[in-house]
């Protein structure tokens, strides 16, 4: 299960996204791959299982970052 041209395109695109968008794209790709998709996306991107699973949950629940919403929550250790 190596990288193909399509994988290289979306993996390269991840670098231009913010962390929420990248997590959600990883979740979408895992769903597209089907069984074993979370593991495959994790291997291709280096993203943790929990991160990809959170992206899947957000996508399935229709929770997308509003353009006026802050990326990080107030008081999140910063």
Whether 35 maps to a domain, the answer reads yes
Q: How confident is the model at residue 11 (pLDDT cuts 50, 70, 90)?
A: confident
Cα(62)–Cα(56) distance, rounded to whole angstroms? 10
Whether 37 maps to a domain, the answer reads yes
Residue 65 tokens read as: 């970052």
What's the mean per-residue pLDDT of the chain?
85
The answer on pLDDT for 62 being more than 60 is yes
**Number of other residues whose CB lies within 10 A of the CB of residue 78:** 6
Query: What 3-state class would DSSP assign to 5?
Result: helix
Whether 48 maps to a domain, the answer reads yes
Whether 21 maps to a domain, the answer reads yes
Query: In the prediction, which pLDDT does 65 show?
Result: 66
The answer on pLDDT for 72 being more than 80 is no
Whether 25 maps to a domain, the answer reads yes
Task: Encode pLDDT of 32-61 as tens digits.
Answer: 999 999 999 999 999 999 999 999 999 999
Whether 65 maps to a domain, the answer reads no
Query: In the prediction, which pLDDT does 6 show?
Result: 80
The domain containing residue 50 runs over which residues? 5-60
Total domains, the chain:
1
Q: With the CA atoms of 68, 69, 71 and 76 taken in that order, what torsion angle do they form, in degrees rounded to the nearest 10?
A: 140
């Amino acid at each position: 299960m190596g990288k193909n041209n399509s994988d290289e395109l979306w993996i390269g695109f991840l670098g231009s996204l913010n962390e929420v968008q990248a997590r959600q794209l990883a979740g979408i790709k895992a769903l597209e791959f089907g069984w074993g998709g979370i593991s495959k996306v994790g291997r291709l991107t280096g993203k943790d299982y929990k991160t990809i699973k959170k992206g899947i949950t957000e996508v399935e629940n229709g929770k997308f970052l509003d353009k006026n919403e802050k990326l990080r929550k107030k008081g999140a250790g910063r």
